Amino acid sequence: MSEPFRDEQLSVVPANEASWEDLAAVFGTADYASQCRCQRFKVRGWIWRDSTLEERTGMQQEQTACGEPDAEATSGLVAYCEDEPVGWVAVEPRTAYPKLRTTRIPWTGRDEDKDDDGVWAVTCFVVRKGYRGRGLMYPLARATVDFARERGARALEAYPMITQPGKEITWGELHVGARQAFEEAGFVQVSHPTLRRVVMRVDFDGGDEPD
């Protein structure tokens, strides 16, 4: 296993400040991420049946506005190790994910306004093949906090999995993130809707801001 990334090796930028070629390198061509293109919570219908890879790729390119540093919005962050693109995290207003409205995990046991665009959400991590197992999820999770806060979010949510020592979880399952990565970024658990899934949150209105 390679050594963990050091903070001084990494930089994390809004996706519109990265090139489309760099983002494509992170997503690769073989894994789940390369087929989904972070559209699971965005496309209408069933992702594989009702949309094509070409359509999903085009949607992602439009949403990220890669190569357009003056764009008003983007849909995530890209991590670099020195000059090499190594990771991605999706973070946007929660209302940007239509399918979150009908997924029970965010809402179980909570009385939330589903149309509140002041609440943002972290929905997906992708680490480039060859760079996995080096802890990149942790700095990516931290980066989402400042990114959302600086763009006017009142709160930021995530829906990570609980990982257990010695119990293997496939990378495809862990695309939503691991609970401990969000804990270290200052998120607190607000609900536990399934055995292995929790809802984590940071509030920026004088509540649970990280140090």
| In the chain, domain spans | 7-203
d(CA 117, CA 92): 9
**What percent of the chain shows pLDDT beyond 70?**
92
What does the DSSP 8-state code read for residue 194? S
d(CA 154, CA 59): 27
Q: How would you classify the pairing of strands 199-203 and 10-14?
A: unpaired
Average pLDDT of the chain is 91
pLDDT at 190: 95
pLDDT band at 109 (very low <50, low <70, confident <90, very high): confident
**Do 145 and 92 contact (CB within 8 A), yes or no?**
no
Average pLDDT over residues 30-47: 92
pLDDT at 170: 54
d(CA 61, CA 37): 9
Q: Does pLDDT of 209 surpass 60?
A: no
Q: What are phi and psi of 133, to 5 degrees?
A: 75, 15
Q: Does pLDDT of 182 surpass 60?
A: yes
pLDDT at 42: 95
pLDDT band at 165 (very low <50, low <70, confident <90, very high): low
pLDDT at 58: 98
Q: Which residue has the tokens 């070409």?
A: 54
Which value, in Å, is the radius of gyration of the alpha carbons in the chain?
Answer: 16
Among 97, 192, 177, smallest CA distance to 145 is for: 177
If you classify domain 7-203 with CATH, what class do you get?
alpha beta
pLDDT at 111: 87
Q: Does pLDDT of 91 surpass 50?
A: yes
Question: Bigger pLDDT: 3 or 63?
Answer: 63
Average pLDDT over residues 26-55: 94
Six-digit token pair at 125? Answer: 């991590």
pLDDT at 1: 53
Six-digit token pair at 68? Answer: 């357009």
**What percent of the chain shows pLDDT beyond 90?**
79
Six-digit token pair at 89? Answer: 């995290």
pTM of the model: 0.92
Q: Does pLDDT of 148 surpass 70?
A: yes
Buried b (16+ CB within 10 A) or exposed e, 101-127: eeeeebbeeeeeeeeeeebbbbbbbbb
Q: How far apart, in Å, are the Cα atoms of 193 and each of 18, 58, 108, 116, 190?
A: 35, 33, 6, 21, 10
H and E: helices and strands count for the chain:
5, 7
- Most confident range, picked from 155-164, 183-192, 199-208: 183-192
Which run of H or of E encompasses 157?
strand 155-158
pLDDT band at 72 (very low <50, low <70, confident <90, very high): very high
**CB within 8 A of 207, min separation 6: which ones?**
155
